Amino acid sequence: MDIDVLVVIGVGGMGLAIARRLGVGRTVLLADFDETTLGDAATTLHGEGHEVKTQVVDVSDHNSVASLADIAAGLGRVTHVAHTAGVSPEQAPIEAVLKVDLLGVAHVLDEFARVIAPRGAGIVIASMAGHMGALPSEQERALAITPTAELLDLPFLSPEKLGHPGIAYTVAKRGNAVRVQAAAAAWGKRGARINSISPGVISTPMGRQELSGESGQRMQGMVDMSATGRLGTPDDIAGAAAFLLDPQAGFITGTDLLVDGGVVAAVRAVQWAGSN
């Protein structure tokens, strides 16, 4: 088919902004777990003139993601994939964080590697949380290359070992970045690219929920001391996605773009100053 297809998985604030930014002239396939949210997003984009299709998806279920990839390929050339679906530690227990934020990303990387068009590109939303602390090298290796069906069986991912949804989230998001690195070769065999974006604190419903939660004061403090001194917007992330998905970024693959307004830089500067 001659139709270019943009797939957006997760239609919250960032997903909707990416669909708006990149959907012109393409068929937009929106996918989300929440049918009501999905319908509302489709109605909004239809009203703005976009050609929109929808599909309910559970990213934690391999068959559901495989079906989504097949549906996307049936619509035309899958040239752009943006995976933004996720849950926060304020929204879900450890098991759900791992199933959605880690296993879900692995499913998307695997299944869309089958259908991505030559010269196509994908992005996965990771998080600045994955930059906040180093994991042992053997754990990073396991997160990167363990077969997807065995991923959640890794001993260090047991709820007892992790202990808190916030730790599970940090590990999952670091896992996203290294999983993308490992997936770059498979995507490259299709003549396509895959990268991740690590947002900082973004003014989305999920981001605002985090700010009102138990870690909210600490998060706001990090924002306040950052170079930009503000929350990010969904459009900030859409701009980064547009760059990475554009052919002009054709030599960029298997990497992570930190889009946090300088939060990680500020945290490290404080750490460096304290070590003197």
> Is 173 considered catalytic here?
yes
Catalytic residue among 99, 161, 173, 189: 173
d(CA 235, CA 272): 32
> Is 169 considered catalytic here?
yes
Asked if residue 124 lies in contact with residue 105, where contact means CB atoms within 8 angstroms, the answer is yes
Bridge partners of residue 123, in order along the sequence = 82, 195
d(CA 109, CA 89): 23
Instruction: Compute φ and ψ for 79, nearest 5 degrees.
Output: -95, -25
SS3 8: strand
> Chain-centre distance of CA 60, in angstroms?
14
Residue 170: HSE in the Cβ half-sphere, 13 Å Cα cutoff: 11
Catalytic residue among 53, 99, 161, 169: 169
**Amino acid identity for residue 21 in this structure:** R
Starting at the edge strand found earlier in the chain, the sheet holding 256-259 runs 51-56, 27-32, 4-9, 77-83, 116-125, 193-199, 256-259
Q: Tell me the catalytic residues.
A: 169, 173
